[in-house]
């Protein structure tokens, strides 16, 4: 009751006593002020101000009001892609008076489980999640138990949930088609030792583009995988440059799993004295704020990060409506050609 500073929130009962009315009148002043006599209302409002009374959310929730809190469970909030996505969620929710409980899972399934349990215990309004693994069982159960779940970056696949995402296969295809049309025939796909569905689907898009061009992906594509979690991705990518340069014949282009990895690769290549794009072309993914400012400016695939977040929040809020039907919203990525790609040296 009393916290350790000896302070205690005042309750409605105390306000009521101070104003000389009943608790229900205080409740009315707060929830339907119109039905309270002006003079009574004035007295109650004054008491509220005077005592610094603040409504107790958990108690209201216990009475059946919906929680204003929505959980956002994503891979890493410090990753600018997710940070911006999260801003989209936050802003859309704010319009509905809701707040975001943001949780990073760092690709660790145990963390994901733990956070989901906590969120369900808190009886949040719902959860928006970019799941680590492909198994939706836990999420379906949560949803069945009454906590709405919206998927991000994972296709709906007929699941009984809402989903928002970007067409990753298309994104991979766009990037690959660009390189192929420049004449590249020896291309590294720089992925991770542990990959989310998005990265896997993009690689599939890359292979698709090659097949569509009448080429054999197994000949053209070199799969390299960075250790993801420690060390920081920029450094892992910079270190990965050694592996790229060790390939024979030397690759002429690198498709990176995201812009941060591309940043590391650019740096590593610079240190190694390899010129971009003259010696090697580099393509990023995400189109983060810094991509245009790099030297050379980074060719990359743009994703509507903020809009993804807004859309996810939209769907989540819609779950409260009686006529809600689960659905999927899918955005299209787009290629942004800048200065880090060019035809290979001797085409």
Restricting to residues 114-133, which ones interact with a second copy according to CB under 8 A?
A: 115, 117-123
* Spatial separation of the C-alpha atoms in residues 98 and 153, rounded to whole Å: 22
Q: Among 97, 117, 101, 120, which residue's Cα sits nearest to residue 109? A: 117
Q: Is there binding between residue 266 and a second copy (CB under 8 A)?
A: yes
Q: Which stretch binds DNA (CB under 7 A): 22-30, 95-103, 148-156, 282-290?
A: 22-30
Chain residues 277-316 in contact with a second copy, contact rule CB under 8 A = 289-290, 292-296
What are the CA-CA distances from residue 25 to residues 57, 129, 231, 254, 328 (Å)? 18, 41, 59, 69, 45
Q: Which is nearer to DNA, 19 or 220 (CB)?
A: 19
Cβ burial, residue 333 (10 Å; 0-12/13-18/19+): buried
CA distances from 9 to 6, 12, 30, 53, 265 (A): 10, 10, 17, 7, 55
For position 145 contacting DNA by CB under 7 A, the verdict is no
Q: Which positions from 58 through 87 interact with DNA, judged by CB under 7 A?
A: 59-60, 62-65
State the binding partner of 23 from DNA, a second copy, none, CB within 5 to 8 A by kind. Answer: DNA
27 scored as a contact of DNA (CB under 7 A): yes
Q: Does 141 bind a second copy (CB under 8 A)?
A: yes
Residue 211 engages a second copy in binding (rule: CB under 8 A):
no
Choose one: 24-32, 112-120, 188-196, 286-294; the region binding DNA (CB under 7 A): 24-32
Structure tokens at 231: 């060390």
Query: Is there a contact between 210 and 169 (Cβ–Cβ < 8 Å)?
Result: no
Find the shortest distance in angstroms from Cβ 263 to a second copy. 4
Both tokens of 339, joined, read: 């200065």
Q: Is 58 in the site for a second copy (CB under 8 A)?
A: yes
Q: Burial, 300: exposed, middle or buried (Cβ in 10 Å; 0-12, 13-18, 19+)?
A: buried
Q: What is the 3-state secondary structure (H, E, C) of 134-165?
A: CCCHHHHHHHHCCCCEEEECCCCCCCCCEEEE
Which residue, 56 or 211, is less far from DNA as judged by CB? 56
Query: Should residue 28 be labelled a site residue for DNA when binding is judged by CB under 7 A?
Result: yes
Residues that bind DNA (CB under 7 A): 1, 8-9, 11-13, 20-25, 27-28, 30-31, 35-37, 39-41, 55-56, 59-60, 62-65
């Amino acid at each position: 009751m009393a916290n350790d500073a000896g302070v205690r929130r005042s309750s409605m009962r105390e306000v009521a006593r101070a104003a000389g009315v009943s608790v229900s009148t205080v409740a009315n002043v707060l929830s339907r002020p119109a039905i309270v006599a002006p003079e009574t209302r004035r007295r109650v409002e004054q008491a509220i101000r005077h005592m610094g009374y603040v409504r107790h959310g958990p108690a209201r929730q216990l009475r059946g009001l919906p929680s204003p809190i929505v959980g956002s469970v994503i891979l890493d909030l410090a990753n600018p892609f997710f940070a911006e996505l999260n801003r989209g969620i936050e802003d859309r929710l704010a319009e509905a008076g809701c707040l975001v409980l943001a949780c990073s899972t760092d690709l660790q399934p145990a963390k994901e489980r733990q956070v989901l349990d906590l969120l369900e215990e808190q009886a949040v309004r719902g959860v928006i999640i970019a799941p680590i693994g492909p198994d939706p069982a836990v999420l379906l159960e949560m949803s069945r138990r009454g906590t709405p779940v919206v998927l991000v970056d994972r296709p709906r696949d007929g699941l009984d949930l809402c989903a928002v995402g970007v067409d990753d296969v298309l994104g991979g295809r766009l990037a690959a088609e660009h390189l192929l049309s420049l004449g590249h025939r020896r291309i590294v796909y720089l992925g991770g030792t542990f990959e989310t569905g998005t990265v896997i689907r993009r690689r599939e898009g890359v292979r698709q583009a090659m097949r569509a061009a009448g080429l054999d992906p197994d000949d053209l594509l070199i799969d390299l995988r960075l250790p993801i979690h420690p060390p920081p991705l920029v450094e892992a990518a910079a270190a990965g440059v050694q592996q790229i340069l060790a390939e024979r014949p030397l690759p002429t282009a690198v498709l990176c799993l995201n812009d941060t990895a591309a940043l590391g690769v650019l740096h590593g290549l610079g240190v190694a004295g390899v010129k971009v794009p003259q010696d090697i072309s580099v393509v990023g993914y995400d189109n983060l704020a810094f991509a245009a400012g790099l030297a050379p400016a980074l060719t990359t695939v743009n994703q509507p990060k903020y809009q993804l977040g807004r859309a996810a929040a939209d769907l989540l809020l819609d779950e409260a409506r009686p006529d809600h039907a689960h659905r999927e919203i899918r955005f299209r990525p787009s290629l942004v050609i800048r200065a880090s790609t060019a035809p290979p040296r001797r085409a």
